[in-house]
Amino acid sequence: MDGIHDLGGQPGYNALGYRRDEPVFKDRWEATVFTMVRASAQAGAYTNIDQFRHAVERIDPKAYLEHGYYGRWLGAVETLFVEAGILTTAEITERATQMGADPNDLIAARPNQIKTQTTGIPAKRNPIDQAPWFQVGDPVQTTETSPLGHTRLPGYARDKRGLITACQGLWPYPDLRAHSHGEPSQYLYTVTFSSRDLGFSEAFELNLDLFEPYLNPIETIQ
């Protein structure tokens, strides 16, 4: 889906905040969030990593930028617990208020506010027991599809020309798995792009692992 999480190539975020040393968890609540994510999986609130990633993508965009990594996870895990019917937003807010939280605080979780019954980029074929569509060396054009659901094709690499540099075999397809459509597999390829083909002025090579439905063949003219 289009959203704040799709940060690659976006202008406006200049500060790197780079530090050589820092603790793994800055505060205990960060480790608590980490543990709650594991507990949510054990409780069945999500069943695969793509559902979790999609929950992160659906949190409040301002919170996404301002609450930090574990703040994003907090928003995702609350979303998942509420959508699974294990907790309610009202009981969490009531408890937090009792503990001294301001009722006007921005809450990252937005359960049930973005439709999750859709899909990402549709699969073109079921490749189980069939050969990969592309071979190493094939030029490809990424799709310009911008799906409402979860996808792992970054926006900056949409509708761009690249080259297949490795076939990585069959993997569960995130665009369907994030929406609980089982674990259908698709071929995954490493696709290599020139920065110029991505529209960036600095010269470098960029590699992405992309699923077959994201890719279209380019006819080479001899």
- Our finding on whether 140 is near another protein (CB under 8 A) is no
Residues 157-176: x where in contact with another protein by CB under 8 A, - otherwise, as a string = -----------x--xx-x--
Length reported for the chain: 222
- Our finding on whether 148 is near another protein (CB under 8 A) is no
- Our finding on whether 62 is near another protein (CB under 8 A) is no
Question: Helix (H, G, I), strand (E, B), or coil: what is residue 141?
Answer: strand
Nearer to another protein, 203 or 221 (CB): 203
Please give the Cα distance from 63 to 106 (Å, whole number). 7
Please give the Cα distance from 195 to 155 (Å, whole number). 14
Please give the Cα distance from 135 to 164 (Å, whole number). 7
Which residue stretch of 5-13, 115-123, 131-139, 141-149 sits at the interface with another protein (rule: CB under 8 A)? 5-13
**Helix/strand number for the chain, H first, E second:** 6, 5
Please give the Cα distance from 126 to 185 (Å, whole number). 8
- Our finding on whether 69 is near another protein (CB under 8 A) is yes
- Our finding on whether 204 is near another protein (CB under 8 A) is yes
- Our finding on whether 96 is near another protein (CB under 8 A) is yes
- Our finding on whether 7 is near another protein (CB under 8 A) is yes
- Our finding on whether 25 is near another protein (CB under 8 A) is yes
Please give the Cα distance from 84 to 205 (Å, whole number). 42
- Our finding on whether 84 is near another protein (CB under 8 A) is no
- Our finding on whether 95 is near another protein (CB under 8 A) is yes
